A and B are shown apart, each in its own frame.
Chain A
């Protein structure tokens, strides 16, 4: 039993330096996720502003965006963006993938931000305005700083979902952690070791991120108490 286990482990990870595939896969997953998170937050803020805007046109645009993106699977979106929209631009694959995930994540982030801003009592805005601050100042100095604390935990959750979501980039031929595991699976004809290995790597990555984000969140809460 033990010998079979170590033999499979050797075949899947050590033989022909297969662990190197997983390491470069980790790099791709991190690269795609990070850029996607940045794009997602930017789009999210933009769409949230649209949705909260007084102008009807902007609200309609924001509404359609969230509706369409949330209403279609991310695999489909990724394939549309890679095979239909971006071919003429000749961008690097991982950037196209990151843009696709960023666009997808933006819809969810916008709802998180919108909910966070709406959670701040209207009296705060009114107080700001009556103290002579203009709308922008009220938003940026009074409402948003308070909203951030409500937004942050939900946003962390969205990051974690996003990282796991990137496991589908194999569809456009990027070798992330999942795809590296798949390649090992198809080269060794073994299923257990590569799949469990893939799961462990994702788990550890997300555990590290969760701990780091927890620290930031605690820091935000501490500032709250003062």
Chain B
């Protein structure tokens, strides 16, 4: 019995050692930059079989690629859950986060943000015959949001009860099936859902929903990388690249 135990321990140790030495991977330093994203947020990031960076495509992905080209760095993209992005960034598993992420004060406590590259606002999607015309009308309605997204934070701040879904599709399905009355989410994505599903419309309420700015997150005090990213973003904002990308990808995903 003792021998078996010994043998097993050795085998296990062997396998672990082999797997340790066999693979490097992770975020390579030097002339490469590893971005993290959550590719379930079209048109900003989604997965297709031939995207601009590997299988990843969308507005953010095109921006990330351009940042790499401007600084002659190789761009790698890691996908993970939205909630995990900033943890992975602090762990050094990725160098930067580009995921339609809003630069909130809460997030600024743990990471640094670049110059905002896109301004988005929250809107409500309702059925065409709905009587919801402003955010205040949601008070006694059933509200759906996407977990961890800004829409959830807004609804929370307004003090309404809501149901949070992992995915936007699931929340919109609830609305289409009549199980909830309103979905609160980002305007760019909302437009896509409305054009894809018949009988839905968008309701805006600028006084209730502040517009928010998407920015790229880097580790605190990684000024070198932040400066490179900012220079690239400012260039793209000045020559209209980002606007073109936004229109192109919104139309491309809406046309589907």
User: Provided the pairs A42-B12, A87-B93, A95-B23 are in contact, do residues A182 and B40 lie with their beta carbons within 8 angstroms?
Assistant: yes
Count of chain A residues near B, Cβ 8 A? 47
Chain A 177-213 interface mask (CB, 8 Å, partner B; 1/0): 0001011111111110000000000000000000000
- Would you call B23 and A42 a contact (CB within 8 A)? no
- Would you call B84 and A83 a contact (CB within 8 A)? yes
Instruction: Say yes or no: is B207 at the interface (Cβ < 8 Å to chain A).
Output: no
- In the complex, how many angstroms separate the beta carbon of A85 from the nearest chain B beta carbon? 11
- Would you call B5 and A173 a contact (CB within 8 A)? no
User: Residue of A at shortest CB range from B88?
Assistant: A83
B15 cross-chain contacts in A, Cβ below 8 A:
38-39, 42
B47 cross-chain contacts in A, Cβ below 8 A:
21, 175, 180, 183-184, 187
- Would you call A11 and B256 a contact (CB within 8 A)? yes
B78 cross-chain contacts in A, Cβ below 8 A:
173
User: Provided the pairs A87-B91, A185-B169, A191-B169 are in contact, do residues A170 and B49 lie with their beta carbons within 8 angstroms?
Assistant: no
- In the complex, how many angstroms separate the beta carbon of B17 from the nearest chain A beta carbon? 12
B158 cross-chain contacts in A, Cβ below 8 A:
none
- Would you call B25 and A90 a contact (CB within 8 A)? yes
**Roughly how many angstroms separate A180 CA and B87 CA in the complex, as a whole number?**
23
User: Residue of A at shortest CB range from B47?
Assistant: A183
Chain B, interface size category, equals 35 or more
Instruction: Say yes or no: is A118 at the interface (Cβ < 8 Å to chain B).
Output: no
A99 cross-chain contacts in B, Cβ below 8 A:
16, 19
**Roughly how many angstroms separate A139 CA and B47 CA in the complex, as a whole number?**
53
B196 cross-chain contacts in A, Cβ below 8 A:
189
Chain A 2-39 interface mask (CB, 8 Å, partner B; 1/0): 00000000010001111011000000000000000011
Binding site for A on B (CB under 8 A): 1-5, 8-9, 11-12, 15-16, 19-20, 23-27, 36, 39-42, 46-50, 55, 78-81, 84, 87-88, 91-93, 167-170, 172-173, 192-193, 196-197, 253, 256
Can you list 20 A-B pairs with a CB-CB distance of less than 8 A?
Answer: A15-B256, A16-B48, A16-B49, A16-B50, A39-B15, A42-B11, A42-B15, A53-B5, A79-B84, A83-B91, A87-B93, A90-B25, A95-B19, A136-B2, A140-B4, A171-B84, A173-B80, A186-B40, A187-B42, A189-B168
